[in-house]
Amino acid sequence: MGRSPCCDESGLKKGPWTPEEDQKLVKYIQKNGHGSWRALPKLAGLSLSLSLSLSLSLSLHVKASSPIAHCLNRCGKSCRLRWTNYLRPDIKRGKFSPEEEQKILNLHSILGNKWSAIANHLSGRTDNEIKNFWNTHLKKKLIQMGIDPMTHRPRTDIFSSLPHLIALANLKELIETHTWEEQAMRLQTEAAQMAKLQYLQYLLQPQPPNSMAPNNLPNNNNIDQITYDNLLNSLSSMKDGQILSTSQFGNLDHESIPFDHMPDLQVPCQNQTPMMNKDMFGENSSPTSVWNIPSTASPSPPPQQQSGTTVPPFTETSSNNYMGDACSTLSYEAGPSSFWSDVLLEDHPLFHEIA
DNA sequence: AACCCTATCAACCGCCAACGG
DNA sequence: GCCGTTGGCGGTTGATAGGGT
């Protein structure tokens, strides 16, 4: 359906709310409830002007006859947001406690980015607040701990661990044997390599089934043959000061690049957000996510079949995967968002509630 | 003091599902 | 069943505060 026209109307105020606007909104909702958000802005302004007028016993007629001048000049959507995220009396403000933090982590591992669902389990916290807290604190924390914030699993892919490996393997040598100029050059080279590898991985992200793929490449990727070859050649030729030799990736061919799980790369990644929902475990299970793992790469630990659950096992499939005919893939269809959390959260009441 | 960078979070945007005429 | 309206949701943006240089 089309968008609501309410926010398209010109002349409506945007941006931070003033105390006066807050006051209007709170007074109206406390007295009347919100009812229709769309109608609320005008009603709220009118209601306040009426009550003020009555209390002053002045100019009732003038104010009531020109409600537009006194209405809340905001769209209903903005009013709703202000109320639910800020003005609602039951909102708990301030820092998240460690208990809340742990709860959010657990819930996120089960529910994914279902912020409103998570908020339902934390009284006094709004979905917006939790979302912000996740994005600014918890996500970074998990990444620093080497845990993929989307899957809640340890990040085992080579791309995520490369910086650490590089640092560990070369720190001593860098410090002892190179001048600062040499080190700067070296870091530049590494940065360029990493950028290209990340770009290559992005290009290898799957595309919608109707997109064209070059002949010798995995189906449905963002890349054309020339770009692909150039990138590989470019990477292979970076011998000087090389830390990331292509041999470390098994010749860096497209069969061995572990291009799963790259949340740090800020590109659209449609099918890498495995969300668990009720249907995934029930009879209405639908394959809302598929994890494709090249057979020649080390797969992530497969989800263990837990007793009493109906977690779908890994299955081998040859259709509609990254490799096309090049290799078969292991697809974990419609599974839980996190193997890791399956283990940790099996006894969580919410887990069974959902399952 | 001035500037820059980063973190934070309120608010907005756009999509979607539910609902009602 | 169709279509417009509405509320809700998740992703993103941008203003601002705070710390560092």
Are A146 and A165 members of one domain?
Answer: no
* Rounded alpha-carbon distances, angstroms, from residue A166 to A16, A192, A237, A260, A297: 46, 14, 19, 20, 20
**Residue A22 predicted with pLDDT over 60:** yes
Q: Is the CB of A136 under 7 A from strand B?
A: yes
Residue nearest to nucleotide B15 (CA to C1'): A3
Q: Is the CB of A286 under 7 A from strand C?
A: no
Rounded Cα–Cα distance for residues A239 and A11 (Å): 61
pLDDT for A229: 53
Are A41 and A107 members of one domain?
Answer: no
Rounded Cα–Cα distance for residues A270 and A208 (Å): 9
pLDDT for A133: 92
* Closest to A309 measured CA to CA, from A263, A342, A340: A342
Domain-embedded: residue A240: no
Domain-embedded: residue A74: yes
Domain-embedded: residue A323: no
Domain of residue A112: give its range: 95-154
Domain-embedded: residue A289: no
Domain-embedded: residue A173: yes
pLDDT for A25: 85
pLDDT tens digits, one per residue of A199-218: 555 445 444 444 333 333 44
pLDDT for A27: 82
CATH of the domain at A19: 1.10.10.60
**Residue A106 predicted with pLDDT over 60:** yes
pLDDT tens digits, one per residue of A126-162: 989 999 999 888 988 888 888 888 888 887 655 555 5
H or E element: which one contains A329? strand A329-333
* Closest to A45 measured CA to CA, from A56, A58, A57, A32: A32
Q: What would the mean pLDDT of A21-29 be, rounded to a whole number?
A: 84
pLDDT for A94: 85
Rounded Cα–Cα distance for residues A224 and A203 (Å): 9
Q: Is the CB of A230 under 7 A from strand C?
A: no
**How buried is A241 (Cβ within 10 angstroms: 0-12 exposed, 13-18 middle, 19+ buried)?**
middle
Distance in Å, residue A16 CA to nucleotide B2 C1': 28
Domain-embedded: residue A112: yes
Domain count within chain A: 3
pLDDT tens digits, one per residue of A229-246: 554 554 444 433 333 333
Are A115 and A72 members of one domain?
Answer: no
Rounded Cα–Cα distance for residues A114 and A275 (Å): 9
- Model's pTM, two decimal places? 0.51
Instruction: Please work out, in degrees rounded to the nearest 5, the angle formed at the alpha carbon of residue A90 by the alpha carbons of A33 and A80.
Output: 45
User: For residue A164, which phi and psi values (nearest 5 degrees)?
Assistant: -65, -45
Rounded Cα–Cα distance for residues A260 and A275 (Å): 16
Domain-embedded: residue A213: no
**Residue A187 predicted with pLDDT over 50:** yes
pLDDT for A75: 83
pLDDT confidence band for A354 (50 / 70 / 90): very low
Q: Compute the mean pLDDT over every residue in chain A, rounded to the nearest whole number.
A: 55
Q: Is the CB of A11 under 7 A from strand B?
A: no
